[in-house]
Every structure is written in structure tokens, then in C-alpha cells.
Amino acid sequence: MATLELDNVYRRFGAVTALDGVTLEVGDGELCVVVGPSGCGKSTLLRVVAGLEKLDSGSVRIDGQDVTRSEPRERDVAFVFQSYALYPHLTVRENLAFPLRVRGVPRAEREGRVREAAELLAITELLERRPGQLSGGQRQRVAMGRAVVRRPRLFLFDEPLSNLDARLRGRMRVELIELHRRLRTTSLYVTHDQAEAMTLGQKLVVLRDGCIHQVGTPRAIYERPADPFVAGFIGSPPMNFLEGTVRSGSGGRLLDWAGPAVPAPEWVPEGPALLGLRPEDLFPGTGPLAMRVRVVEDLGGDRFVYGEASGVPLVYRAEPAQHVPSPEEQISLAVRPGKEHWFVRGRRLKPGG
Ligand code: ATP
């Protein structure tokens, strides 16, 4: 087990800055999830930690030791990829033992560690099969087993579940959380899937264009997104946004936007502002937003009502007992008090300033 520290890491490819001054600490035994859209630098970040990619400047420390210029094999980290990278001609047992064989681990210890990893990942009955005789989920478990047998200081996961179907992905997420709880190996996990990031991460890092936008627990990031990008990226369906200008009216502050003005608190300064509203914080009632319903998405447990107000797309979550409007119906929406997210000049405003 180990800590991981990245300090002001830069990596450029020609005109592209894949990592733009990344500073990040992952605590001993922590599972840290880096989430961001395609091309934001996630894989580059993992490759820099593994030593597969050189950095232009900055440093990487594992357990306090500067490994910036160390070779990958000196770093003692294990990578799990989305492509399982198993040897097709070897059995599961041989695949699991392979990383130990190349490191010269004695046979008896190898067998013990393979047995232990197989039990941990519930693949004991698959040990004599070859990868071609396994399902996608089983292959991914073997790939994880191959990282586990090594007992590395650090696990690096590069979207390991993205090849699996949605149901299996959900199950594997739970297994991964349990695996981490048992092994407590410090882990860095990257994904573009915000739902996966929310369920897996103890610590969540939101990355965009090589820059960290926010670090925190999934809950804290969901409830207090630092900027409009994070607010729109984390949460599904995404947050609604009303863009406009705050001014002082006779009855207090108001946000002028495409529709009828909506009230704004006194601590939002006059001038351009963005109001963010989560779908679960809007409900039908006497309120400032006149919405024309377009589509109702019934997911069984949750129902989301999509429409638009004065040309701005809106979505809200209908409570189980609530009447669900029909397409083309015109309804008015109210906002749960205190649930507004205000952004000015690209930053979140805190109540009081
Ligand atoms: P994805 O989710 O699509 O895998 P990512 O977040 O992992 O994306 P990276 O693969 O780290 O993103 O790439 C970050 C940026 O750096 C991208 O713009 C990519 O095109 C660029 N890049 C990565 N590796 C190289 C390379 N070897 N040469 C040139 N550009 C590269």
C-alpha cells in the first residue's frame, strides 16, 4: 500500500496539452476516481503514474519516493485495462501466474497467491479454462486477478468495465468496491462515465482539458459543484441552466433570462449569471417557470419529464405520487427553496458572497 502524489504535472503532445498542471494526492488505501469527457487526459494521467509516458515537467511520488524518472517496473504498480489483455493460449491459472513467473516468484508462493486471488475474485472454477472459453465479465475478473496476485503498491484502472453490458457493469462495480474494501490497495480509476464515478469513488476528481476542475466526495461535488462544467457533467439527467443577467427590481433581485424573470437572492451580484437547477429540485406548482412538456421518460423507479421554457430545455423528476403531465401540456414549475446553484464568471457563488 502507498500514497500517490502528483505535483504540477504537464504533458504536451504538439499543440495539445494533455495534462495541464495536475496536482493530486491519493491517500494510502484510497480509491480515487478520475472522471472526465473523452480526450480530457485520463489515460495520459494513468500512463504518467505507471511510467509509460514521460512528463514535460512536474513530479510523481509513490509513498513519498520520487519516481518521476523511474522505469515502469521499478514503480510496483499494476494496470487493469478495458481490453483484458489476457494471453489466449494460456489457461486462467497460467494467466494469473504469469506476472509472478516473470518476476521470479518461487513456484509454491505463486500457487498460493493464484489460489488466493482466484478465491477473492470467485474464479476458482475457471482456473483450467482459456480466455476464449470465458464471458466478458469473467475475463475482466481474470484481468483484475492478474493485477491482484502481484500485490502491487498501486492499482491503475483504465475504464476496465466499459466493454461490458450495462447490467454486468453494475454488478462489477459492486464487486470492485468490495474487492477494494478487502484489499485496501491504493487505486486510481479513470472513467468517462459519471454514474460509474459517483458509485465507485471515495474521492472524485473531475478532469477537463488536462485541468482538474474539482476534487471531493461524490456527494459534495454533486451538491456543491465548483463551476458550470462540473455542474453539467455530474448528474443524470444533467442540471438545468438558465443564463441571464441579475438586476435589482422594486421587489428585490431578479434574474432576467429568456423567460419571465425569476427571483435571485441578495448575495448574487448584479450582472451576468447562470442559475443551475437539478431535475429533482423542480416540481409542478405555482412557480416562475412555464414549461411545455415534450417527452416523459419512465424508467420504472424514476420518471423524468422533459420540455422547454421560453426556448430553454428543462427536465424535472416527477415524484412517485405526482401527476405526470402529457406531451404538449403547459405546466408551471417551482424550485425547492435553497436548492438553486448560482454561478458568476464561471465559478460557484456561496451564499453570502
Ligand atoms: P478517452 O476517454 O477518449 O480515452 P482520455 O481522457 O483518456 O480520452 P488521453 O488519451 O489521455 O484522453 O488524451 C488526452 C489528449 O492528448 C487527447 O487530445 C489526445 O488526442 C492527446 N494524446 C494522447 N496521447 C497522444 C500521443 N501519443 N500523441 C499525440 N496526442 C496524444
Dump the DSSP string for 144-175.
HHHHHTT--SEEEEESTTTTS-HHHHHHHHHH
Residue 254 placed within a domain: yes
Boundary-marking domain end, from 232, 253, 279: 232
Indicate whether 97 and 218 sit together in one domain: yes
Indicate whether 26 and 42 sit together in one domain: yes
CA dihedral 39, 41, 46, 52 (to 10 degrees): 90
Boundary-marking domain end, from 207, 232, 257: 232
Residue 353 placed within a domain: no
Residues 6+ apart with CB under 8 A from 181: none
Residue 170 placed within a domain: yes
Residue 64 placed within a domain: yes
Indicate whether 321 and 173 sit together in one domain: no
Indicate whether 43 and 160 sit together in one domain: yes
Among 85, 101, 88, 81, which Cα is nearest to 129's? 88
pLDDT at residue 242, as a whole number: 97
Pocket test for ligand 1, best of 6, 9, 12, 13 (most atoms within 8 A of CB): 13
CA distances (Å), origin 73, targets 44, 69, 76, 148, 152: 18, 12, 6, 16, 11
Residue 265 placed within a domain: yes
Containing domain of residue 241, as a range? 237-348
Indicate whether 267 and 324 sit together in one domain: yes
CATH number for the domain including 270? 2.40.50.140
Residue 137 placed within a domain: yes
Cβ neighbours of 211 (radius 10 Å) = 16
Work out the burial of residue 102: count CB atoms within 10 Å of its CB; fewer than 13 is exposed, 13-18 middle, 19 or more buried.
exposed
- Where residue 152 falls (left for φ over 0; alpha for ψ -120 to 50; beta otherwise) is beta
Among protein residues, the one with the nearest Cα to ligand 1's atom 29 is 13
Pairing label, strands 186-191, 154-158: parallel
- Rounded CA-CA distance 320/58 in Å is 51
| Helix/strand/coil for 133 | helix
CATH number for the domain including 10? 3.40.50.300
pLDDT at residue 121, as a whole number: 84
Start-to-end C-alpha separation, the chain: 42
- Rounded CA-CA distance 216/212 in Å is 11
Residues 18, 64 contacting (CB under 8 angstroms) = no
Indicate whether 190 and 246 sit together in one domain: no
Among protein residues, the one with the nearest Cα to ligand 1's atom 11 is 41
Residue 328 placed within a domain: yes
* Ligand 1 centre distance from Cα of residue 143 (Å): 23
Indicate whether 181 and 261 sit together in one domain: no
Indicate whether 241 and 203 sit together in one domain: no
Residues contacting ligand 1 via CB (< 6 Å): 13, 16, 18, 36, 38-44, 192
* Ligand 1 centre distance from Cα of residue 147 (Å): 24
Indicate whether 156 and 210 sit together in one domain: yes
Indicate whether 98 and 127 sit together in one domain: yes
Indicate whether 57 and 168 sit together in one domain: yes
Could you say which residues of the chain have pLDDT below 50? Answer: 353
Among protein residues, the one with the nearest Cα to ligand 1's atom 31 is 13
Residue 150 placed within a domain: yes
| Helix/strand/coil for 353 | coil
CA distances (Å), origin 157, targets 34, 83, 119, 303: 10, 11, 21, 33
Domain count, the chain: 2
Indicate whether 89 and 136 sit together in one domain: yes
Boundary-marking domain end, from 199, 232, 265: 232
